[in-house]
Amino acid sequence: MTREPPLALLAEITHRCPLQCPYCSNPVELVRAGAELATADWQRLIDEAAALGILQIHFSGGEPMVRTDLAQLVGHARAAGLYTNLITSGVLLDATKMEALARAGLDHVQISIQDSDPAGSDLISAYPGALPKKRQAALLVGEAGLALTINAVVHRQNLDRVGDMIAFAEEVEAQRIEIAHVQYYGWALKNRDFLMPTLAQLDAATALVERERARLGGRLVIDYVIPDYYARKPKACMGGWGRRFLNVSPEGKVLPCHAAETITSLAFATYPERSLADIWADDPAFAAFRGTDWMPETCKSCDRREIDWGGCRCQALALTGEAGAIDPACERSPRHDELFDLARAASLAEPVVRAWRRMGGKS
């Protein structure tokens, strides 16, 4: 059958990263540098993405700037007609690299911050002096004339400084800030007791965001994502499984989302063993939770079934043991009250820093 093409490709070109944040979306088992797709493979993949009808490519990791061919890949994507976005920590971005990326045709940069407080930033990222480097990187993006988004991942340890993070985005003249609560799978699930905010923290932060939106009047767009554990309705994860996005891992695994490999009952195809178009159209792993036919009856009869598309399959697996179960973030799930209880217990747990599970095995 003819299928609508995906909107965007998330190209995770490496898992290598100097930060090792305890909520990292990288899988627990990291791909080593020697197993990463080569430059020529990524270039062919980019050409196939453009031919498939993809409009955007997001270069991510890990930290994509550890790849010495990043500017070359950006230039290839621009030549293929794709809108190019770099998702980076910013700590490796200097004037020389910024000039090369801008010359290659990069359109947009998203820089993550771990905190507005230097000590808090160092505590989370394990990279001494990260925040000043991120500030300088953000200024370089503006000087190059590129669009800039600040991504602030928030949790119990920094949520009380959301106002300061918005001020940071204003100071570096970003056009957008994404205030994204940690989502609990992978490394974040292992560190849930350290990261989960209290309900009082969440309510205060949400009210502050609304006040700041009114004050800023659109001069700085604020996207705000609450943690699913405190939600009543699930989100349309990645726009729905296998509907709008392709994710390619450093070794070429083609996935519906960056956490999909946690569903070990599914076997995901690898590029270049199969083409992107073939995987998108016919791969059983993409078909597993695409659309609504797979849904349990509670979801299938819900008037939001083509709004949230059943929520997050990886979260359903992590919390219920079944990837096809109702996402517990939904108030109609029989596990919904348990989710709130988990959030409350985690938010009250003693945060012992030495007990963190940090990413290991740097390549």
- Each domain of the chain, given as residue ranges in start order, spans 7-362
Does 21 appear as a known binding residue? yes
pLDDT per residue over 285-318, tens digit each? 999 999 999 999 999 999 999 999 999 999 999 9
Q: CA–CA distance from 100 to each of 12, 14, 17, 32, 166 (Å)?
A: 20, 19, 21, 26, 29
- The reply to whether the predicted model has a pTM over 0.75 is yes
The pLDDT, as a whole number, for residue 21 is 84
pLDDT per residue over 11-63, tens digit each? 999 999 988 888 887 765 666 778 899 999 999 999 999 999 999 999 999 89
On average, the pLDDT of the chain sits at: 92
pLDDT per residue over 62-74, tens digit each? 899 999 999 999 9
Q: How confident is the model at residue 263 (pLDDT cuts 50, 70, 90)?
A: very high
Contact between 188 and 22 (Cβ < 8 Å): yes
Q: CA–CA distance from 24 to each of 21, 55, 360 (Å)?
A: 5, 26, 11
Burial class (CB in 10 A: 0-12, 13-18, 19+), 267: exposed
Residues 259, 172: Cα–Cα separation, whole Å? 31
The pLDDT, as a whole number, for residue 19 is 87
- Among 10, 115, 8, 20, which residue's Cα sits nearest to residue 62? 20
| CATH architecture of the region 7-362 | Alpha-Beta Barrel (3.20)
Q: Which of 130-134, 271-275, 288-292, 317-321 has the lowest mean pLDDT?
A: 317-321
The pLDDT, as a whole number, for residue 103 is 98
Does 17 appear as a known binding residue? yes
Q: Is the pLDDT of residue 1 over 60?
A: no
Q: CA–CA distance from 176 to each of 80, 152, 166 (Å)?
A: 26, 11, 10
Q: What is the largest CA-CA distance in the chain?
A: 56
